[in-house]
Amino acid sequence: MKEWDINAADSIGRTALAWAAARGHGGIVAVLLQLKEVDPNTVDARNGQAPLWLAAKAGHEGLAKLLLEREDINPNTADTEYGQTPLWLAAEGGHEGLAKLLLEREDTNPNTADIKYGQTPLWLAARGGHWGVVKMLLEREDTNPNTADIKYGQTPLMWAAASGREDVVKLLLERKGISLNIADTGYDRTPFWWAAQREHEGVVRLLLEREDINPNTADTEYGQTPLWLAVEGGREGVVKLLLERQDIDRHYRY
């Protein structure tokens, strides 16, 4: 006769496996996962956090590896408070090893955004300058490189350009299907606008190498074009790059 339920939960809905994953007890996790009756996907009653989510949140790559070896594991279970998946957490923290483990699984969805701000794993990795994670995400053909967040409408490329991350911008520009001229929902500022405004000359140069770039898009708050920003800010290098373009609007207006 069975004397205990290995999947029994405590007052907040956490199982023994969940607590072991949260606390980083790899040996206990390994022992529990050997039991076929152990459910690796049980979420707690408070925040909907599964064992894999808890391991990813704490950056426990070894524990995540153990959990992902179970065929019945769901790699996409998000918490119910913020809608963050294990891959979302790995991307936010720049945990390359963890992201690699998750992305090696075909059933991992690389595009799941959180429910509060609509930020995808690629968006987070680009914002954080996590080059390795960005690279792995872009190697997945099903990753959408253009998904913007729902608060400001900013894309991964926009964040990378505004931050001056030439290495991340280069990765994104090499990706088939990348859209260069998507503007944010605040004042219609494009990645190129931000690069010029922040005086990131290297990013400006990379973007201008693309034939599909629009170098003249002005924001809707003040009507400032990239050339206006460069001239007004005394950014000589950026001005020279812009004036080399035959399609640049040379009219200075405010």
In a domain, 128, yes or no: no
Q: At 233, is the secondary structure helix, strand, or coil?
A: coil
In a domain, 176, yes or no: no
Helix and strand totals (H; E) in the chain: 14, 0
Percent of the chain beyond pLDDT 90? 91
In a domain, 146, yes or no: no
Tokens of 196: 């010029």
What's the Cα-to-Cα distance from 40 to each of 21, 58, 80, 85, 231, rounded to whole Å? Answer: 10, 17, 17, 15, 59
Q: What is the dihedral of CA 64, 69, 70, 75, to 10 degrees?
A: 50
Phi-psi region of 37 (alpha: psi -120 to 50; beta: other; left: phi over 0): alpha
Distance separating alpha carbons of residues 3 and 86, to the nearest angstrom? 33
In a domain, 71, yes or no: yes
What's the Cα-to-Cα distance from 71 to each of 40, 41, 42, 185, 189, rounded to whole Å? Answer: 10, 11, 15, 42, 45
Q: Give the pLDDT confidence score for residue 121 in this predicted structure.
A: 98
Burial of 146 (0-12, 13-18, 19+ CB in 10 A): middle
Length of the chain as a residue count: 254
**Tally of domains within the chain:** 1
Q: Give the pLDDT confidence score for residue 9 in this predicted structure.
A: 85
In a domain, 101, yes or no: yes
Give the closest residue to 168 by CA, choosing from 137, 205, 135.
135
In a domain, 52, yes or no: yes
In a domain, 143, yes or no: no
97-127 pLDDT, tens digit each:
999 999 999 999 999 999 999 999 999 999 9
Q: Give the pLDDT confidence score for residue 13 in this predicted structure.
A: 85
Contact indicator for 79, 48 with CB cutoff of 8 Å: yes
Q: Give the pLDDT confidence score for residue 250 in this predicted structure.
A: 78
Low-confidence ranges of the chain (pLDDT < 70): 1-3, 251-254
Contact indicator for 187, 219 with CB cutoff of 8 Å: yes
| CATH assignment of the domain containing 21 | 1.25.40.20
For residue 72, the enclosing domain spans 1-108
In a domain, 44, yes or no: yes
74-89 pLDDT, tens digit each:
999 999 999 999 999 9
Distance separating alpha carbons of residues 191 and 159, to the nearest angstrom? 8
Distance separating alpha carbons of residues 64 and 144, to the nearest angstrom? 25
Q: Give the pLDDT confidence score for residue 1 in this predicted structure.
A: 42
